[in-house]
Structure 1
Amino acid sequence: MQQLDPARQPTWGKMSVQHMIEHYAGDAVRNASGRLKMDRIITPPEKLGSMREFLMSERPFKENTRNSLMGEEPGNLHFNTVQAAIGALQQELIFFFEAFARDPQLVTRNPFFGDLNFEQNVQLLYKHALHHLRQFGVEPLNV
């Protein structure tokens, strides 16, 4: 994400590079670490099993996957620069790994995939990062 040109346009979706980084740090990583607490699981209980199966698979998120917790348009930016957003992302990732180092049995609630342990959160963050990198035309090697 650090190497993306901030002016690069997405191949799909409405987020700018900075919106994407802020979303990933502020929503995805904060939720995975437990800093952004979600009380509700919006996925119906009968579908959670198939959602978890998808999560742990190598199947990617589809382009333009709709997040019902986000608006149709990207929100206001929280940082003045992409570099500042990257700095916030780095801090959130540090907090994530520290939270699970302090409590390896920690489980955090994701509104779509339910209660997740460390391994499941890492898989979700990985899958989510690949999704957004592809949004900006980056195809990671060996994926």
Structure 2
Amino acid sequence: MKNIFTQAVTEEIIQRINQLTPASQPLWGSMTVSQMLAHCNVTYEMVYEDKHPKPNAFMRFILNLLVKPIVVSEKPYKHNSHTAKQFLIKDTKDFEQEKARLIRHIQQTQALGEAHFEGKESHSFGKLKSQEWNNMFYKHLDHHLRQFGV
């Protein structure tokens, strides 16, 4: 899996994001491109903002047991996979605003670097290794950029 913490991979992802337009259409799924960008921002909101409530102990146990292995592994996501409620974007979003936010989040993550994320507490999964953070960040972005053909 590519390393999102490296500048080259960050630049590649941003270049792919910059290929999107407000008229970009998905190859699968029902999100608009603006909703997809907002959806991708949720991962970073859980890292950098106190916007989403943390799951209770029981739910965290379930997430660690059933969801974490899917999210932090190198195995690609399937098309039309289910997602957590916080990631469902149903309202209209501003393309340019969501795109700029996502790029800033990606750049901030790369600037903080791999060492910053080693052992860092995840919103839903507890402490993760930097490789798990990388897999979660990169795999999710790659999945949705492929969804929109970039």
TM score, norm. by length of structure 1: 0.68
Q: 1:100 to 1:34 in 2, by over 3 A?
A: farther
Q: Provide the identity percentage.
A: 24
Query: For 2:33 and 2:63, how far apart are their aligned partners in 1?
Result: 32
Correspondence for 2:73 among 48, 51, 57: 57
Q: 1:65 to 1:43 in 2, by over 3 A?
A: farther
**Residue 23 (1) aligns with residue 35 (2):** no
Q: Paired residues, what number?
A: 132
How much does 1:60 deviate? 1.1
**Residue 86 (1) aligns with residue 102 (2):** no
Q: 1:83 to 1:57 in 2, by over 3 A?
A: same
1:4 is paired with a residue whose SS is: coil
Query: For 2:107 and 2:123, how far apart are their aligned partners in 1?
Result: 19
- The amino acid that maps onto 2:147 is Q
Q: Judging by fraction of residues, say which structure has more helix.
A: 2
How much does 1:64 deviate? 1.1
How much does 1:115 deviate? 3.6
Q: 1:91 to 1:15 in 2, by over 3 A?
A: same
Compute the RMSD of aligned alpha carbons: 3.2
1:40 is paired with a residue whose SS is: coil
Query: For 2:45 and 2:88, how far apart are their aligned partners in 1?
Result: 21
Query: For 1:71 and 1:129, how far apart are their aligned partners in 2?
Result: 13
Q: Is the 8 A contact 1:38 1:109 kept in 2?
A: no
Correspondence for 1:13 among 22, 29, 42: 29
Gaps of 5+ in 1: 139-143
2:122 is paired with a residue whose SS is: strand
Query: For 1:47 and 1:22, how far apart are their aligned partners in 2?
Result: 22
Q: For 1:40-83, what per-residue CA distance to the aligned partner results, in whole angstroms no more than 9, with x for missing partners?
A: 16756366256444344332111111213148662231x3xx33
Q: 1:65 to 1:100 in 2, by over 3 A?
A: same
How much does 1:24 deviate? 0.9
Q: Give the structure 2 partner of residue 122 of structure 1.
A: 134
Q: Is the 8 A contact 1:60 1:131 kept in 2?
A: yes
Q: Is the 8 A contact 2:73 2:136 kept in 1?
A: no
TM score, norm. by length of structure 2: 0.66
Q: Is the 8 A contact 1:14 1:73 kept in 2?
A: no
